[in-house]
Structure 1
Amino acid sequence: MEEKRALGLIERPRYIAQIEPFIETDVVKVLSGLRRSGKSGMLKLIQRWLREHGVRENQFISVNFEDYNFRSLTRPDALHEYLAAKIAEVNGRAYVFLDEIQEVSNFERVVNSLRATTGADIYLTGSNSALLSGELATHLAGRYVQFTIYPFGFEEFVHARQTILASATFRDYLDVGGMPYLATKELDSHSNAIYLRDIYGSVVLKDIVARHAIRDIHLFEKISTFALANTGNVISSGSMTKFLKSENVRVSTQTVLNYLEYCTQAYLLNETRRFDVVGKEQLKTLSKFYAADHALRGAIVGDGDAQIQGVLENIVALEAMRRGYDVQVGVLPAGEVDFVLKKDRLTRYIQVTYLMADARNEEREFGALERISDNYPKTVVSMDPLLRPRAGIEHREISEFLLAEDW
């Protein structure tokens, strides 16, 4: 316990379990995700795992490219020379950890050369999915695996709070969100919001505006804020351009689509596409977008609990993504299912609602699931303390559901 407090390490066993089969292989491990979502912490957890399995500390070579001391290594030739020399000094296998690798131009050539010639076990982190997957696919096809590191889910939040602050509730999680720094601190709501808005600003300026040379930052922020405000709602480029027109802002449909794509590449938004439950095919039009963190969304949009329905959907969607599910929105001939989850051969249907307030609400949530004729698991999730399952469909309280292993 004291070691965890000192190092600030919070267990993330689901990620370790995903990464472990590739440790000590020549496959490059890439950890990507939103800035400050815990990628650097995951590198420390991997290092601890390695130490527990006999690797010595002097076999580790770590470079954080946001550290000014390493500014000269953002040139590929300088980085290759530095790492090759460091690896040559290691007695045994070297383990290389490169944090925020997107700061290095042509980094993929350096990584591929070291992988091919030194036998080092290499780990990268980065904050832009398109940059990482695009560049690595060109030079490391079949030689890398990528893991998305999300902010803490409720399970991780509870563990973090109990480790550092002794207690945690779902209400705490609703208010604070899952960014690791905030999960391990007890700040007032104003300070939380300042921190979250700073993350948003860093993502916008470093990972989106600078990378894509966006000149109209105000327009970009209008589009990203609109998407955040409409968490859980179907968004089309047409509806967004119509909204902007009502605000006396004229923008092309393609620009809207591009800006939304940039947000997903930087992990600010997560897109869920629609799935025809009857026809069993993915639909190409319209999507829903969920924020990287529900509290970050709240800090930017500023609507408090007014959109609790969408916030709860956001929490469940991201938890499913953490658990490795492909998350889609189910479309029925009459109505919609919030989530169709797919992993390996498993399919699961989930409806999320705030409270089962009346018979009409109950009919809407259960009725949609009852219209699905297959026998895959079906669950309604809400904040109700009194649960009312129906016709073989589960009704689960949300905090219990988020902590459960059986999904």
Structure 2
Amino acid sequence: MNHTVVAILQEFSLDAYRPIFHRDLDLGEPLPPRAGNLVKVVTGMRRSGKSYRLFQEMDALLAAGVPESRICYFNFEDDRISPATHQTGDDVIEAFRYLHPDVAPEDGLYLFFDELQEMEEWGSWLRRVVDTTRATIYVSGSSSKMLTSEIATEFRGRALDFELLPYSLRELALQDVELAAHIDDVVQSPARQTRLQALLDTYLTRGGFPAVQGLPVAQANGLLQSYTQRVVARDVVERHNLARPRVASALASRLMGLSGRQLSVRKIENDLRSAGLASGRGYLGDLISYFEEAYLVFLVRERSRALSESTTVPPKAYAIDPGLSLANSRAGVSDMDQRLENAVYLELRRRHPEFRDGGISTLRTRSHGYEVDFVVGDALDERATELVQVTDSMDDSRTVERETRALWEAMEELGARDGIIVVRSGAQAHYERDGMSIAQIPAWSWLLSTNGAPSR
């Protein structure tokens, strides 16, 4: 018997983590325990709330009448069991059964394995557990590769993937009793509109990581910077056994500062060389892919309209969180409008998990090369489900002309009838032309909605 594992299991109490804030990420109904079950895997960047999403699921099971003696939670990032091995995992299940001898094998268990990627070759171990244990299994991890190259080939098709991002604006508003009571009202009072605008500005500055909420700005920035440093150290340098951590750290800082701008590896290479950190483009490209795997940054590419068509346009880079972007940017950089664009991308990613890989893209129109910030939809069938522009305001006629002309032309080329302009400041408005419609929506309203329909 592994007495360290026994002690860790005995220490855990869900009550220590209450109140458990409800996250919007829906994992579906719990599967009945059985051997051969699908595994539900929650992935996301460190500190984004994955553990609490597992706690939310455990809390729901208890409310539904599942006894605590059938619910096992274990965090494989605990330093007392490092390095975690297949034997460690076996010890967890053995120790839990030892602590709960009255649970019959036919009753089945609910197993919650947190940060399982800390176990070497975890995929093959989990496959054995799935095949031999009557259980419902949830797993969390801090790498998107948990469902790609790191998982054993024989495990593919046996897991459901759920991506958890830091708090959205809606989730932050739901933590305010008065705002939560009216969050789905079609019409918001002027006083609530003012509060929601202030909440938006705070969100674009502080971001949505749970632990930074309510902290003074200096402390919040320091904590967010430490998050980036930990991801670089643990999920990139250590995991991939890299020998040049200063290059990785400097590149991460530059990527965080892009916040919706195009990523030029050549320019970054030159900047790093000027700073005494010479490195080849191939190495920098590898680092960028590692940052994507660790959920530090997302790359959004230009929409391709045909299988044979390729683009040489550099992708845009978006951080996992607008507050993380600001905290890790160079001093003096503000760019509230760029961080709003970042926030809109993250919200589109939440709303369209089916289009996560390449289904959210940028677009330049064929006729005049006008840019549309986001196009949602499968590029292979040349249809778009959403066309979205993002801008700070529409207060002058030149901005109105620039933002609407891109959408009109893109809508004509893609056969779409509707477009959206999300504005940080400004009122709701509509534009009509040739049977097509563009809705101008205040950012707080669009971000609060669950389907893009605005409050007023």
- The structure carrying a bigger helix percent of its residues is 1
1:308 aligns with 2:316: no
CA distance in 2, matches of 1:191, 1:75: 36
1:265 aligns with 2:293: yes
Q: What's the offset of the Cα at 1:324? A: 2.2
Q: Which deviates the most, 287-296 or 275-284?
A: 275-284
Counterpart for residue 120 of structure 1: 135
Label 1:388 to 1:42 Cα distance change in 2 as closer, same or farther (>3 A): same
**Does the 8 Å CA contact 1:337/1:369 hold for their aligned counterparts?**
yes
Q: What's the offset of the Cα at 1:152? A: 0.6
Label 1:395 to 1:35 Cα distance change in 2 as closer, same or farther (>3 A): same
SS class of match (2:220): helix
**Does the 8 Å CA contact 2:117/2:141 hold for their aligned counterparts?**
yes
From 45, 65, 68, give the equivalent of 1:57. Answer: 68
CA distance in 1, matches of 2:76, 2:44: 16
CA distance in 1, matches of 2:297, 2:319: 5
Label 1:338 to 1:278 Cα distance change in 2 as closer, same or farther (>3 A): farther
CA distance in 2, matches of 1:10, 1:283: 43
Counterpart for residue 32 of structure 2: 24
Counterpart for residue 448 of structure 2: 403
Q: What are the superposed Cα offsets for residues 4-35 of structure 1, whole Å, 9 maximum, x if unpaired?
A: 9971311113x12xx21563361011111100
TM-score, normalised via structure 2 length = 0.80
Q: What's the offset of the Cα at 1:397? A: 0.2
Q: What are the superposed Cα offsets for residues 102-122 of structure 1, whole Å, 9 maximum, x if unpaired?
A: 111121122111110112111
What's the Cα RMSD here? 2.8
Label 1:219 to 1:99 Cα distance change in 2 as closer, same or farther (>3 A): same
Q: What's the offset of the Cα at 1:71? A: 3.8
Counterpart for residue 171 of structure 2: 156
CA distance in 2, matches of 1:261, 1:136: 18
SS class of match (2:314): strand
Q: What's the offset of the Cα at 1:45? A: 0.8
Counterpart for residue 182 of structure 1: 212
From 44, 47, 54, give the equivalent of 1:33. Answer: 44
**Does the 8 Å CA contact 2:46/2:231 hold for their aligned counterparts?**
yes
Q: Which amino acid aligns with 1:189?
A: V
SS class of match (1:394): strand
Counterpart for residue 11 of structure 2: none
Counterpart for residue 80 of structure 1: 90
SS class of match (2:377): strand
SS class of match (2:215): coil
Label 1:280 to 1:84 Cα distance change in 2 as closer, same or farther (>3 A): farther
Residues 252-331 of structure 1 correspond to what in structure 2 (within 5 A)? 252-276=280-304, 283=311, 286-303=314-331, 306-325=334-353, 326=355, 327-331=360-364
**Does the 8 Å CA contact 2:145/2:151 hold for their aligned counterparts?**
no
Q: Which deviates the most, 243-252 or 35-44?
A: 243-252
CA distance in 1, matches of 2:120, 2:299: 28
Q: What's the offset of the Cα at 1:302? A: 4.4
Label 1:277 to 1:376 Cα distance change in 2 as closer, same or farther (>3 A): farther
SS class of match (1:390): strand
SS class of match (2:447): helix
CA distance in 2, matches of 1:283, 1:83: 50
Q: What's the offset of the Cα at 1:296? A: 1.0
**Does the 8 Å CA contact 1:30/1:124 hold for their aligned counterparts?**
yes
Q: What are the superposed Cα offsets for residues 308-365 of structure 1, whole Å, 9 maximum, x if unpaired?
A: 1210010000011111253211222312110012389861000000112421111111
Counterpart for residue 10 of structure 2: none
**Does the 8 Å CA contact 2:386/2:419 hold for their aligned counterparts?**
yes
Q: What's the offset of the Cα at 1:281? A: 6.5
From 18, 26, 42, give the equivalent of 1:7. Answer: 18
CA distance in 2, matches of 1:280, 1:361: 35
Counterpart for residue 377 of structure 1: 418
Counterpart for residue 143 of structure 1: 158
**Does the 8 Å CA contact 2:393/2:426 hold for their aligned counterparts?**
no
Q: Which amino acid aligns with 2:388?
A: I
Q: What's the offset of the Cα at 1:251? A: 1.9
Q: What's the offset of the Cα at 1:198? A: 1.4
CA distance in 1, matches of 2:390, 2:331: 20
Q: What are the superposed Cα offsets for residues 222-280 of structure 1, whole Å, 9 maximum, x if unpaired?
A: 21211111111111322322333444543211111111111111111011121046999
Residues 338-377 of structure 1 correspond to what in structure 2 (within 5 A)? 338-342=373-377, 347-372=385-410, 373=412, 374-377=415-418
**Does the 8 Å CA contact 2:51/2:114 hold for their aligned counterparts?**
yes
Counterpart for residue 200 of structure 1: 228
Of all paired residues, the percent bearing the same amino acid is: 27
Label 1:84 to 1:164 Cα distance change in 2 as closer, same or farther (>3 A): farther
SS class of match (1:214): coil
Q: Which deviates the most, 107-116 or 274-283?
A: 274-283
Q: Which deviates the most, 48-57 or 388-397?
A: 48-57
**How many matched pairs?**
399
Counterpart for residue 191 of structure 2: none
Label 1:170 to 1:94 Cα distance change in 2 as closer, same or farther (>3 A): same
**Does the 8 Å CA contact 1:84/1:114 hold for their aligned counterparts?**
no
Counterpart for residue 68 of structure 1: 79
1:332 aligns with 2:370: no
SS class of match (1:255): helix
Label 1:385 to 1:279 Cα distance change in 2 as closer, same or farther (>3 A): farther
